[in-house]
Amino acid sequence: MQPEAMHTGGNGRVRVMMESYRLSNNLAVPKLGFGTYKATEGTGAEVVALAVESGYRYFDTASFYQNEEAIGEALRSAAVRRDEVQIATKVWKADMGYAQTKESLEASLVRLKMDYVDFFLIHWPKTDPEDTQWEERLLETWRAMEELLADGKTKGIGVSNFLTAHLTFLLAHANIRPVFNQIEFHPGYLQQDTVDFCQQEGIQVQAWSPLGRRRVLEDSLILRLAEQYNKSAAQICLRFALQKGVMPLPKATVAERMAENLSVFDFEIMQKDMALLENMPQTGWSGEHPDRARVYFS
Ligand code: A2P
Protein backbone atom coordinates (compact mmCIF):
# COMPACT_ATOMS: atom_id res chain seq x y z
CA MET A 1 0.00 0.00 0.00
CA GLN A 2 1.97 2.95 -1.22
CA PRO A 3 0.65 6.37 -0.30
CA GLU A 4 0.34 8.68 -3.23
CA ALA A 5 -0.76 12.21 -3.79
CA MET A 6 -4.42 12.55 -4.69
CA HIS A 7 -6.30 15.75 -5.09
CA THR A 8 -9.83 16.13 -3.94
CA GLY A 9 -11.48 19.42 -4.56
CA GLY A 10 -14.58 20.81 -2.96
CA ASN A 11 -17.34 22.27 -5.08
CA GLY A 12 -15.26 25.32 -5.87
CA ARG A 13 -15.44 26.68 -2.35
CA VAL A 14 -12.97 24.35 -0.67
CA ARG A 15 -9.90 22.66 -2.01
CA VAL A 16 -8.35 19.99 0.12
CA MET A 17 -5.10 18.24 -0.60
CA MET A 18 -5.48 14.71 0.60
CA GLU A 19 -3.09 11.80 0.35
CA SER A 20 -4.34 8.34 -0.52
CA TYR A 21 -3.78 4.69 0.31
CA ARG A 22 -3.43 2.13 -2.45
CA LEU A 23 -5.45 -1.00 -1.65
CA SER A 24 -4.57 -4.61 -2.46
CA ASN A 25 -7.09 -4.54 -5.33
CA ASN A 26 -5.19 -1.53 -6.71
CA LEU A 27 -7.91 1.02 -5.98
CA ALA A 28 -6.88 4.27 -4.30
CA VAL A 29 -8.82 5.69 -1.37
CA PRO A 30 -8.32 8.95 0.49
CA LYS A 31 -6.35 8.47 3.69
CA LEU A 32 -9.28 9.86 5.68
CA GLY A 33 -12.99 9.30 5.16
CA PHE A 34 -16.27 10.45 6.70
CA GLY A 35 -18.06 8.22 9.20
CA THR A 36 -21.82 8.51 9.22
CA TYR A 37 -23.04 6.39 12.14
CA LYS A 38 -25.39 8.66 14.08
CA ALA A 39 -23.94 11.60 12.15
CA THR A 40 -27.09 12.09 10.16
CA GLU A 41 -29.75 11.91 12.84
CA GLY A 42 -32.23 14.70 12.53
CA THR A 43 -30.32 16.61 9.90
CA GLY A 44 -30.01 13.74 7.45
CA ALA A 45 -28.72 14.67 4.06
CA GLU A 46 -27.57 18.13 5.17
CA VAL A 47 -24.63 16.74 7.15
CA VAL A 48 -23.41 14.69 4.22
CA ALA A 49 -23.87 17.61 1.83
CA LEU A 50 -21.79 19.73 4.18
CA ALA A 51 -19.12 17.02 4.35
CA VAL A 52 -18.91 16.96 0.54
CA GLU A 53 -18.55 20.74 0.53
CA SER A 54 -15.86 20.45 3.20
CA GLY A 55 -13.84 18.18 0.92
CA TYR A 56 -14.66 14.65 2.11
CA ARG A 57 -14.79 12.15 -0.73
CA TYR A 58 -15.15 8.81 1.07
CA PHE A 59 -18.36 8.00 2.96
CA ASP A 60 -18.81 5.05 5.24
CA THR A 61 -22.31 3.81 5.96
CA ALA A 62 -24.10 0.52 6.73
CA SER A 63 -27.60 -0.85 6.38
CA PHE A 64 -27.67 -0.77 10.20
CA TYR A 65 -27.15 3.00 10.28
CA GLN A 66 -30.47 3.62 8.51
CA ASN A 67 -29.11 6.63 6.68
CA GLU A 68 -28.41 5.27 3.21
CA GLU A 69 -31.35 7.16 1.70
CA ALA A 70 -30.10 10.45 3.11
CA ILE A 71 -26.55 9.77 1.96
CA GLY A 72 -27.67 8.83 -1.54
CA GLU A 73 -29.81 11.95 -1.75
CA ALA A 74 -26.98 14.19 -0.52
CA LEU A 75 -24.45 12.74 -2.93
CA ARG A 76 -26.82 12.97 -5.87
CA SER A 77 -27.49 16.63 -5.26
CA ALA A 78 -23.85 17.49 -4.49
CA ALA A 79 -21.63 19.13 -7.07
CA VAL A 80 -19.56 15.98 -7.53
CA ARG A 81 -19.87 13.16 -10.01
CA ARG A 82 -20.57 9.65 -8.74
CA ASP A 83 -17.06 8.57 -9.68
CA GLU A 84 -15.53 11.38 -7.64
CA VAL A 85 -16.82 9.95 -4.37
CA GLN A 86 -16.51 6.54 -2.80
CA ILE A 87 -19.23 4.91 -0.71
CA ALA A 88 -18.93 1.88 1.50
CA THR A 89 -21.85 0.05 3.05
CA LYS A 90 -22.10 -3.11 5.16
CA VAL A 91 -24.20 -6.20 5.61
CA TRP A 92 -25.60 -6.43 9.13
CA LYS A 93 -25.06 -9.43 11.47
CA ALA A 94 -28.63 -10.66 11.15
CA ASP A 95 -28.51 -10.55 7.34
CA MET A 96 -25.48 -12.77 6.82
CA GLY A 97 -25.67 -15.88 4.66
CA TYR A 98 -25.50 -16.33 0.90
CA ALA A 99 -28.96 -15.20 -0.25
CA GLN A 100 -29.47 -12.60 2.50
CA THR A 101 -26.14 -10.92 1.76
CA LYS A 102 -27.09 -10.46 -1.87
CA GLU A 103 -30.51 -9.15 -0.85
CA SER A 104 -28.88 -6.83 1.65
CA LEU A 105 -26.71 -5.14 -0.96
CA GLU A 106 -29.61 -4.91 -3.41
CA ALA A 107 -31.69 -3.21 -0.71
CA SER A 108 -28.82 -0.84 0.11
CA LEU A 109 -28.47 0.07 -3.56
CA VAL A 110 -32.20 0.77 -3.79
CA ARG A 111 -31.99 3.05 -0.74
CA LEU A 112 -28.88 4.78 -2.05
CA LYS A 113 -30.43 4.96 -5.55
CA MET A 114 -27.09 3.81 -6.97
CA ASP A 115 -26.15 0.95 -9.22
CA TYR A 116 -22.95 0.10 -7.35
CA VAL A 117 -21.13 0.84 -4.13
CA ASP A 118 -17.39 1.23 -3.96
CA PHE A 119 -16.99 -1.11 -1.01
CA PHE A 120 -19.19 -3.70 0.64
CA LEU A 121 -18.15 -4.92 4.08
CA ILE A 122 -19.26 -7.59 6.54
CA HIS A 123 -20.22 -5.56 9.61
CA TRP A 124 -19.35 -8.15 12.32
CA PRO A 125 -17.90 -11.66 12.00
CA LYS A 126 -20.57 -13.27 14.20
CA THR A 127 -24.24 -12.73 14.88
CA ASP A 128 -23.42 -12.74 18.61
CA PRO A 129 -20.53 -13.90 20.80
CA GLU A 130 -22.17 -17.32 21.36
CA ASP A 131 -22.68 -17.90 17.65
CA THR A 132 -21.30 -21.42 17.06
CA GLN A 133 -22.18 -21.43 13.34
CA TRP A 134 -20.20 -18.31 12.49
CA GLU A 135 -17.57 -20.00 10.32
CA GLU A 136 -20.07 -21.61 7.99
CA ARG A 137 -22.18 -18.45 7.79
CA LEU A 138 -19.12 -16.32 7.16
CA LEU A 139 -18.02 -18.43 4.21
CA GLU A 140 -21.51 -18.34 2.69
CA THR A 141 -21.55 -14.58 3.16
CA TRP A 142 -18.12 -14.20 1.61
CA ARG A 143 -19.08 -16.34 -1.38
CA ALA A 144 -21.96 -13.94 -2.00
CA MET A 145 -19.62 -10.97 -1.60
CA GLU A 146 -17.19 -12.41 -4.16
CA GLU A 147 -20.06 -12.84 -6.62
CA LEU A 148 -21.33 -9.32 -6.00
CA LEU A 149 -17.84 -8.10 -6.81
CA ALA A 150 -17.75 -10.13 -10.02
CA ASP A 151 -21.20 -8.75 -10.94
CA GLY A 152 -19.97 -5.16 -10.56
CA LYS A 153 -22.31 -4.36 -7.68
CA THR A 154 -19.28 -3.34 -5.64
CA LYS A 155 -15.70 -2.48 -6.53
CA GLY A 156 -14.15 -3.95 -3.41
CA ILE A 157 -15.10 -6.25 -0.56
CA GLY A 158 -13.95 -6.15 3.02
CA VAL A 159 -14.77 -6.79 6.63
CA SER A 160 -15.28 -4.92 9.87
CA ASN A 161 -14.67 -5.81 13.51
CA PHE A 162 -12.69 -8.90 12.55
CA LEU A 163 -9.91 -10.00 14.90
CA THR A 164 -6.94 -12.09 13.86
CA ALA A 165 -8.70 -15.44 14.39
CA HIS A 166 -11.66 -14.42 12.21
CA LEU A 167 -9.35 -13.10 9.50
CA THR A 168 -7.13 -16.16 9.58
CA PHE A 169 -10.16 -18.36 9.02
CA LEU A 170 -11.47 -16.18 6.20
CA LEU A 171 -8.10 -15.92 4.44
CA ALA A 172 -7.70 -19.69 4.54
CA HIS A 173 -10.93 -20.14 2.56
CA ALA A 174 -11.44 -16.98 0.49
CA ASN A 175 -10.77 -16.72 -3.23
CA ILE A 176 -10.63 -12.95 -2.96
CA ARG A 177 -9.01 -11.25 0.01
CA PRO A 178 -10.71 -8.45 1.94
CA VAL A 179 -9.29 -5.02 1.12
CA PHE A 180 -10.37 -3.45 4.44
CA ASN A 181 -10.83 -4.37 8.05
CA GLN A 182 -12.67 -1.58 9.85
CA ILE A 183 -12.17 -1.72 13.62
CA GLU A 184 -12.44 0.50 16.65
CA PHE A 185 -9.10 2.30 16.80
CA HIS A 186 -8.05 5.38 18.73
CA PRO A 187 -5.42 6.29 21.31
CA GLY A 188 -6.31 4.16 24.30
CA TYR A 189 -7.73 1.29 22.20
CA LEU A 190 -5.49 0.22 19.35
CA GLN A 191 -6.17 -3.49 18.91
CA GLN A 192 -2.51 -3.61 17.92
CA ASP A 193 -2.41 -7.37 17.26
CA THR A 194 -5.16 -7.05 14.70
CA VAL A 195 -3.54 -3.98 13.13
CA ASP A 196 -0.21 -5.83 12.84
CA PHE A 197 -1.87 -8.87 11.30
CA CYS A 198 -3.77 -6.75 8.76
CA GLN A 199 -0.67 -4.82 7.81
CA GLN A 200 1.31 -8.03 7.29
CA GLU A 201 -1.49 -9.35 5.10
CA GLY A 202 -1.94 -6.17 3.07
CA ILE A 203 -5.41 -5.47 4.49
CA GLN A 204 -6.00 -1.74 4.97
CA VAL A 205 -7.17 -0.95 8.50
CA GLN A 206 -9.93 1.63 8.84
CA ALA A 207 -10.67 3.24 12.20
CA TRP A 208 -14.21 3.62 13.42
CA SER A 209 -14.50 6.00 16.33
CA PRO A 210 -11.03 7.47 15.73
CA LEU A 211 -11.86 10.16 18.31
CA GLY A 212 -13.15 7.56 20.75
CA ARG A 213 -16.58 9.23 20.42
CA ARG A 214 -14.96 12.20 22.20
CA ARG A 215 -14.11 10.05 25.20
CA VAL A 216 -10.36 10.45 24.68
CA LEU A 217 -10.39 14.14 23.81
CA GLU A 218 -10.07 15.17 27.44
CA ASP A 219 -7.16 12.81 28.16
CA SER A 220 -4.26 14.72 29.73
CA LEU A 221 -1.58 13.31 27.39
CA ILE A 222 -3.63 14.14 24.30
CA LEU A 223 -4.35 17.63 25.58
CA ARG A 224 -0.65 18.17 26.32
CA LEU A 225 0.35 17.02 22.82
CA ALA A 226 -2.38 19.18 21.29
CA GLU A 227 -0.86 22.20 22.99
CA GLN A 228 2.68 21.18 22.03
CA TYR A 229 1.82 20.75 18.33
CA ASN A 230 -0.59 23.67 18.28
CA LYS A 231 -3.36 21.37 17.08
CA SER A 232 -6.64 20.19 18.60
CA ALA A 233 -7.04 16.96 20.56
CA ALA A 234 -9.08 15.55 17.65
CA GLN A 235 -6.29 16.37 15.20
CA ILE A 236 -3.77 14.56 17.39
CA CYS A 237 -5.96 11.43 17.34
CA LEU A 238 -6.43 11.57 13.58
CA ARG A 239 -2.78 12.25 12.84
CA PHE A 240 -1.89 9.37 15.14
CA ALA A 241 -4.08 7.03 13.06
CA LEU A 242 -2.49 8.23 9.82
CA GLN A 243 1.03 7.72 11.13
CA LYS A 244 0.00 4.19 12.16
CA GLY A 245 -1.00 3.55 8.53
CA VAL A 246 -4.69 3.50 9.45
CA MET A 247 -7.55 5.26 7.58
CA PRO A 248 -9.66 7.17 10.12
CA LEU A 249 -13.39 7.72 9.55
CA PRO A 250 -14.25 10.60 11.88
CA LYS A 251 -17.73 12.01 11.97
CA ALA A 252 -18.73 15.54 12.73
CA THR A 253 -21.93 17.49 12.29
CA VAL A 254 -20.71 21.06 11.85
CA ALA A 255 -18.53 22.56 9.12
CA GLU A 256 -15.92 23.82 11.55
CA ARG A 257 -15.16 20.37 13.00
CA MET A 258 -15.37 18.76 9.54
CA ALA A 259 -12.66 21.13 8.28
CA GLU A 260 -10.59 20.71 11.44
CA ASN A 261 -10.61 16.94 11.02
CA LEU A 262 -9.33 17.23 7.44
CA SER A 263 -6.51 19.52 8.44
CA VAL A 264 -4.16 16.78 9.59
CA PHE A 265 -1.79 16.48 6.65
CA ASP A 266 0.44 19.43 7.55
CA PHE A 267 2.20 18.22 10.69
CA GLU A 268 4.00 15.20 12.03
CA ILE A 269 3.90 13.67 15.50
CA MET A 270 7.42 12.84 16.62
CA GLN A 271 8.30 9.20 17.21
CA LYS A 272 8.70 9.63 20.97
CA ASP A 273 5.22 11.14 21.20
CA MET A 274 3.79 8.40 18.99
CA ALA A 275 5.24 5.93 21.52
CA LEU A 276 3.48 7.75 24.36
CA LEU A 277 0.17 7.58 22.50
CA GLU A 278 0.74 3.94 21.62
CA ASN A 279 1.29 3.08 25.25
CA MET A 280 -1.63 4.93 26.77
CA PRO A 281 -3.64 2.83 29.21
CA GLN A 282 -6.97 1.60 27.86
CA THR A 283 -9.18 4.65 27.45
CA GLY A 284 -12.45 5.28 25.71
CA TRP A 285 -13.23 1.72 24.59
CA SER A 286 -16.80 1.48 23.32
CA GLY A 287 -17.39 -1.82 25.13
CA GLU A 288 -17.99 -3.67 21.84
CA HIS A 289 -16.11 -6.86 21.02
CA PRO A 290 -17.01 -9.57 18.49
CA ASP A 291 -16.34 -12.48 20.84
CA ARG A 292 -17.58 -11.06 24.13
CA ALA A 293 -20.81 -9.71 25.53
CA ARG A 294 -21.07 -5.96 25.30
CA VAL A 295 -19.71 -4.00 28.25
CA TYR A 296 -21.66 -0.89 29.27
CA PHE A 297 -19.81 1.93 30.98
CA SER A 298 -21.64 4.34 33.22
P1 A2P B 1 -20.40 16.29 16.47
O2 A2P B 1 -21.05 15.09 15.84
O3 A2P B 1 -21.31 17.08 17.33
O4 A2P B 1 -19.71 17.12 15.44
P5 A2P B 1 -16.00 9.49 16.56
O6 A2P B 1 -15.73 9.90 15.14
O7 A2P B 1 -14.79 8.98 17.28
O8 A2P B 1 -17.15 8.51 16.67
O9 A2P B 1 -16.44 10.79 17.38
C10 A2P B 1 -17.57 11.51 16.99
C11 A2P B 1 -17.83 12.56 18.04
O12 A2P B 1 -16.72 13.46 18.08
C13 A2P B 1 -19.05 13.38 17.76
O14 A2P B 1 -19.66 13.63 19.00
C15 A2P B 1 -18.49 14.65 17.16
O16 A2P B 1 -19.29 15.73 17.46
C17 A2P B 1 -17.20 14.76 17.87
N18 A2P B 1 -16.19 15.48 17.07
C19 A2P B 1 -15.94 15.36 15.78
N20 A2P B 1 -14.91 16.13 15.41
C21 A2P B 1 -14.51 16.79 16.52
C22 A2P B 1 -13.51 17.75 16.78
N23 A2P B 1 -12.70 18.16 15.82
N24 A2P B 1 -13.41 18.23 18.06
C25 A2P B 1 -14.23 17.80 19.03
N26 A2P B 1 -15.19 16.88 18.84
C27 A2P B 1 -15.35 16.39 17.61
Task: Give the pLDDT of residue 135.
Answer: 97
How many Å apart are CA 277 and CA 212, to the nearest integer? 13
Task: Give the pLDDT of residue 1.
Answer: 36
pTM exceeds 0.85 = yes
How many Å apart are CA 17 and CA 201, to the nearest integer? 28
* Residues lining ligand 1, Cβ inside 6 A: 35, 209-214, 217, 232, 234, 250-254, 257, 260-261
Task: Give the pLDDT of residue 100.
Answer: 98
How many Å apart are CA 256 and CA 52, to the nearest integer? 13
Active site residue 58: no
Provide the pLDDT confidence category of residue 6 given band limits of 50, 70 and 90. very low
Query: What does the buried/exposed string (b/e) look like for 52-63 if buried means 16 or more CB atoms within 10 Å of the residue's CB?
Result: bbbbbbbbbbbb
126 has pLDDT over 70 = yes
13 has pLDDT over 60 = no
Task: Give the pLDDT of residue 38.
Answer: 78
Q: What is the mean pLDDT of residues 227-253?
A: 97
Which ligand 1 atom is the nearest neighbour of the CA of 214?
A: 12
Q: Where are the beta strands (DSSP E) in the chain?
A: 4-9, 15-22, 28-30, 34-35, 58-60, 86-91, 117-122, 154-160, 180-184, 204-208, 247-248
Which ligand 1 atom is the nearest neighbour of the CA of 35?
A: 6
CA angle 194, 195, 200 (to 5 degrees): 100
